[in-house]
Amino acid sequence: MRLGFLLPCITVLLVTGSVCKLAHNSSALPLSSSSRWIVDESGLRVKLACVNWVSHLEPVVVEGMGKQPLDTISKKIAAMGFNCVRLTWPLFLVTNDSLAGLTVRQSFQALGLMESIAAIQVNNPDLLNLTLIQAFKAVVSNLADNNVMVILDNHISKPGWCCSNFDGNGFFGDKYFDAEEWIKGLTKMATMFNGSPNVVGMSLRNELRGPKQGVTEWYRYMQRGAEAVHSANPNVLVILSGLSFDNDLGYLSKKPVELTFQGKLVFELHWYAFSDGQAWANGNPNQVCGRVAGNVMRRAGFLLDQGWPLFLSEFGLDQRGTNVNDNRYLGCMMGVAAELDLDWALWTLQGSYYIRQGSKWEFISDSKMHLSTKMSSDGCSLCLDVDPDGISIITNPCRCLTNDQTCNPESQWFKMISSTRKTASKNSILRLPSRPEIWRFVRNRALESSV
Ligand SMILES: *[C@@H]1O[C@H](CO)[C@@H](O)[C@H](O)[C@H]1NC(C)=O
Ligand SMILES: *[C@@H]1O[C@H](CO)[C@@H](O)[C@H](O)[C@H]1NC(C)=O
Ligand SMILES: *[C@@H]1O[C@H](CO)[C@@H](O)[C@H](O)[C@H]1NC(C)=O
């Protein structure tokens, strides 16, 4: 319900405005910066209204290829009012030739994701025999065909879910994050897309973080990365993420970045409800908004006054509307983003993943029929449930686990069974009808098999 409301609402609030020009004609590219604004070739402001699209997880293929044809998704992105995609990629895609050379089919096969292969066969058969790097290029090029700009975001080194302090991908010197390899990879990517005008920017590295992070190293390596990207591809905006999961660029108030080029530098900021823990749920929303917005200004917002564009490259919330912390943050964050007229990118486009680290399902309760998973954001448990429409399978807070004698858990009861018989139907979820019909069904099947 919130979903239908949320996207148009954000789009209307943040995209419209007299100074806002959506770049629908790629002849105005490349983009550059002019004081705090991002502008096109003729100096007109271009407001980035992007959506993140994930391509950095284990399969290294953009999400959703088993759901809809690529071109349908690109058209939908444009139709929803986004003018750009922040497209994530793992460093190893360009620094590990045997990874880049895998075909899409082989990548899914190696992960045992046979159902994804079957689904991609239906929706995007042309992708299956492409190598991962070819498939990535096909996505960029299809977005170009639909007048959607692209920001290439180096999200992580080793393909997988991002980000934690200890995942080995957080800062220079971490297990999977070698500075020289990173510079090489950025150079390769920048070169590869030099000549693709819709690639308007590169986010050099997502959410720097972890025990090794440091301001001195930040300047040393980010400046080197920026120079490397710019010399390989002088067209793209060079976008720099801050420390502490891209919540903090405060050190720039004292010491600016030193680069040999001008007119291409942009900073990016991430701002979620959980950036401030449970502050929104636990405090008075006015006071929390005042305090958090003040911190955002001190850590990043001041850059606008210094004459740099600031790209809110990740924000988002649980769109089911059940998370109080998220709901309270949304209004405050949108107020600030609209007031500052920020360029932005919503997290995220895909509603599901081929594979998602961390989401583990297990049977709980004494009946062992509640199929439950823990939310990583707030640690609460959700259970599979049958929607009141009687058809869809959804998630809800787990119900009636213990004690309550009046409560009926049945819509949350599931059994996983290995079928011993081939069925004609391709639908793998068998819906159990309401009780009287079940018995009829069971009786009929019993009769059937005794015949
Ligand atoms: C973009 O603008 C240029 C020059 O104004 C024009 O020649 C070209 O046809 C336009 N392209 C599209 C796709 O509208
Ligand atoms: C390169 O990629 C291949 C294929 O995914 C993988 O087996 C290998 O371990 C990777 N090598 C490195 C050094 O990460
Ligand atoms: C794709 O590769 C498979 C083998 O992996 C082959 O059977 C099939 O014919 C190929 N399809 C195309 C369109 O080349």
Residues (pLDDT < 70) of the chain are 1-27, 357-359, 375-379, 418-451
Ligand 1 atom at minimal distance to the Cα of residue 147 = 13
User: Does residue 371 sit in helix, strand or coil?
Assistant: strand
How many Å lie between the centroid of ligand 1 and the Cα of residue 25?
6
Is the C-alpha dihedral spanning 31, 37, 42, 47 positive or negative?
positive
CA distance linking residue 119 with residue 104, whole number of Å = 12
Q: Which residue has a Cα nearest atom 1 of ligand 3?
A: 129
Q: Which of 27, 29, 148 to mutate to test the pocket of ligand 1 (most atoms within 8 A of CB)?
A: 27
CB 27 near ligand 1, within 6 Å = yes
Q: Is residue 353 included in any domain, yes or no? A: no
Q: Identify whether residues 316 and 367 lie together within a single domain.
A: no
Token readout for 266 is: 């942009």
Assess contact for 256 and 222: CB atoms under 8 A: no
Long-range CB contacts for residues 116-121, cutoff 8 Å, separation at least 24: 116/59, 116/66, 116/354, 118/66, 119/65, 119/66, 119/67, 120/65, 120/66
Q: Which residue has a Cα nearest atom 7 of ligand 1?
A: 27
Supply the pLDDT for residue 378: 59
Q: Is residue 412 included in any domain, yes or no? A: yes
Q: Identify whether residues 59 and 171 lie together within a single domain.
A: yes
Supply the pLDDT for residue 439: 38
Q: Identify whether residues 89 and 236 lie together within a single domain.
A: yes
Backbone angles phi, psi at 102, to 5 degrees: -65, 145
- Global confidence as pTM: 0.79
Q: Identify whether residues 286 and 213 lie together within a single domain.
A: yes
Question: Model confidence over 16-27: pLDDT tens digits?
Answer: 333 334 445 555
Of 321, 346, 371, the domain-final residue: 346
Pick the ligand that lies closest to the CA of residue 147.
1
Give the H or E element holding residue 403.
none
* Domains in the chain, number: 2
Q: Is residue 392 included in any domain, yes or no? A: yes
Supply the pLDDT for residue 416: 77
Supply the pLDDT for residue 347: 97
Q: Identify whether residues 292 and 411 lie together within a single domain.
A: no
Pocket-forming residues, ligand 3, beta carbon under 6 Å: 105, 129
Helical axes 324-340 vs 2-15, angle rounded to 10°: 20
What domain range is 331 assigned to?
A: 2-346
DSSP annotation string for 253-294: GTS----S--S-EEEEEE--GGGGTTHHHHS-HHHHHHHHHH
